[in-house]
Amino acid sequence: MDRTELESFMDNLYEIGCVKFGEFYLSTGLKTPVYFDLRLIVSHPKVLQQAGRLIKQIIEQNNINFDIICGVPYGAFAVATSLSIQTNKPMVFKRKEIKDYGCKKMVEGVYKAGDSCLLIEDVVVYGTSINETSQTLREYKLNVTHAISILDREQGGCQLVQDNQINFYSILKASDILKHLVNRGKISQAKMDETIDFLNKNVFKASQSSISFTKPVVNEL
Ligand SMILES: O=P(O)(O)OC[C@H]1O[C@H](OP(=O)(O)OP(=O)(O)O)[C@H](O)[C@@H]1O
């Protein structure tokens, strides 16, 4: 990847508020001191274009072949669209819930059995969303072999996705952006160390039978 563009992208993510420190909860119920809110990218077209460009670079550098693109709902829809426009590749989208009227399909758009579908994600925690999305796409006879995320929180999702026969790539790892913010003087070394320590201590291992964190009464996300 183009290092200058990558650094500019990290600067932009921080500037638009995608990196938040405080007390947040993930969908698993895990309380976290750092939250990467990449949904905010939709409000910044230049950053959205940049995300698409960087993903395109990963595709080219790794010779990833695919027929169609699918964003993991909902956070990655816009990024998948940016990539679709920049690569001139068609897109489908997968619903979270089936409708009880109309065509009642979970996967919308034009595709045919055997098409290879590249999955796009915004943030990977445990890879559950990528794996659930790929399961549905596979039920619809699509071939899912590659997924690219903007950010990997480095909590085990990469491995769990790869265990599902999906080659996984990310523009950034959580530690990359934290180190970059220290270099830019935006956060202290101590803040970075404690955050990385938290992430390391909360890695999901495939040997665990299930992810079981207590759900908070008020889920902030
Ligand atoms: O790797 P995972 O453990 O699945 O976690 C990551 C997923 O969680 C977030 O989505 P969320 O479930 O909050 O839904 P949204 O995109 O509709 O907001 C995020 O956008 C990823 O899709």
DSSP lists the bridge partners of residue 31 as: 25
- The H or E element spanning position 134 is helix 128-139
What percent of the chain is predicted at pLDDT more than 90?
86
User: What is the C-alpha separation between 113 and 70, in angstroms, rounded?
Assistant: 15
pLDDT of res. 193: 98
> Residues lining ligand 1, judged by CB closer than 6 Å?
27, 72-75, 121-129, 157, 221
Protein residue with its CA nearest to atom 21 in ligand 1: 123
- The ipTM estimated for the assembled molecules is 0.97
pLDDT at residue 106 tops 80: yes
Give me the residue spans of the domains in the chain. 3-205
Give the distance, in angstroms, between the CA of residue 191 and the centroid of all CA atoms in the same chain: 23
Determine the atom of ligand 1 nearest the C-alpha atom of 96.
Answer: 17
Residue nearest to atom 19 of ligand 1 (CA): 123
Ligand 1: centre distance to CA 130 (Å): 9
Q: Cβ-count burial of 82 within 10 angstroms (0-12 exposed, 13-18 middle, 19+ buried)?
A: buried
Domain 3-205 has CATH 1.10.8.50: no
Two structure tokens written together for 110 = 């034009």
Any idea which of 70-84, 120-134, 207-221 has the lowest mean pLDDT?
A: 207-221
Q: How far apart are CA 61 and CA 53, in angstroms?
A: 12
Between CA 83 and CA 69 the distance in angstroms is 8
- Which atom of ligand 1 lies at the shortest distance from residue 153's CA? 1
Q: Which helix (H) or strand (E) holds 144?
A: strand 143-152
State how far Cα 136 lies from the chain centre.
Answer: 17
